[in-house]
Amino acid sequence: MEMLHGFLLGVIATASLTAGGFFLKFWRQTRDILFLAFGVAFIIEGINRTSFVFLELPNEGHPSIYIVRLLAFLVILAAIFNKNRRG
Amino acid sequence: MAVAVYVLGILVTALCTLLLLRAYAKVGQKLLLWAGLCFAGLTVANILLFVDLVIWTDVSLYTWRLSAAAVAMLLLLYGLVSESD
Amino acid sequence: MQTVELPQDVILFITEQIDTVPHLEALLLLFEQPAEQWTVERAAARLYVSVDAAAQILQDLERRKLVRKRLDEPASEYVYDPTWDGTGQLMASVAMNYRRYLAPVAAIIHAKASRSVREFARAFEFKKDR
């Protein structure tokens, strides 16, 4: 079971970091801050999941974990509001 | 505090799901579908997180949560790789 | 290769409204040859693309209100819709600049992020005027 959890976390972390990379590329291409926000959010999540390795699993109840996730959510929300604020 | 973060997480991913799938229905661009499904999966994962840590605290939904998030991210990755040329 | 200064409004139009080179060529076909009957099949033949691709291109242009379906018979044909361009000058300018400076115009089109990426960004705009 531990192996399965470790594997799934690895998948999530790797996919999140990769997705983040794609979004940062889109940001470079379009200069649209929305993509920077998504890129940062997914990279934060990727690093966050990776850090699970150093903590006891399962542990989303751990404050440092959910504070970081909160940051990722707020970044996305801010970008969405920003996009709609202008005109 | 933790509960507020979990709920916010559900709302943010649900909002993204809604916007992306609505746009897909309108425009038909496949990347929107995959991204929308990804956020739908992340919303499910976030809901399971809330249920797991707040409601059914005696049962662990950890494997389900991780599976939902993993599937969601793989869908997004597939969409990004195949649709963003 | 000498650098060319394309007019700002042409650049803006292409950046905002034109997804691919075939899109631009389709638009120019309808603009420059209004007497022709532009069915999807006809356009596909002239653009050297598949019928499905031509159908998608014409639908995209229609969605952007650059072309529309004929109001009289037969209603399956497309015509250029000039209402977006008040004076008619911009469209003519776009056509002229594309004919003369094909490579720079194509470069602008290809430098844009792909359509799917731009649609992703648009998905998060609440006010939809499309």
ipTM: 0.88
Of residues C43 and C5, more confidently modeled: C43
- According to DSSP, the residues that pair with C69 across neighbouring strands are C78
Task: With CB atoms and an 8 Å threshold, state whether C117 touches A34.
Answer: no
Provide mean pLDDT across the span C96-108. Answer: 90
Contacting subunits of B (3+ beta carbon pairs below 8 A): A, C
Residue A57: pLDDT band by 50, 70, 90 thresholds? Answer: low
> How many contacts (CB atoms, under 8 Å) link B and C?
34
Exposure letters A7-20 (e unless 16+ CB within 10 A, then b): ebbebbbbbbbbbb
Measured between alpha carbons, how far is C96 from C100 in angstroms, rounded to an integer? 6
Residue of B nearest to C59 (CA): B27
Interface contact B66, partner A, CB < 8 A = yes
**Best of C57, C109, C114, C119 to mutate (most B CBs within 10 Å, chain B):** C119
Among residues C96, C105, C94, C43, which one has the least CA distance to residue C69? C43
| pTM, two decimal places | 0.70
> What's the pLDDT at C92?
93
Q: What percent of chain B has pLDDT over 70?
A: 98
Which residues of chain A have a CB within 8 Å of the CB of B49?
60
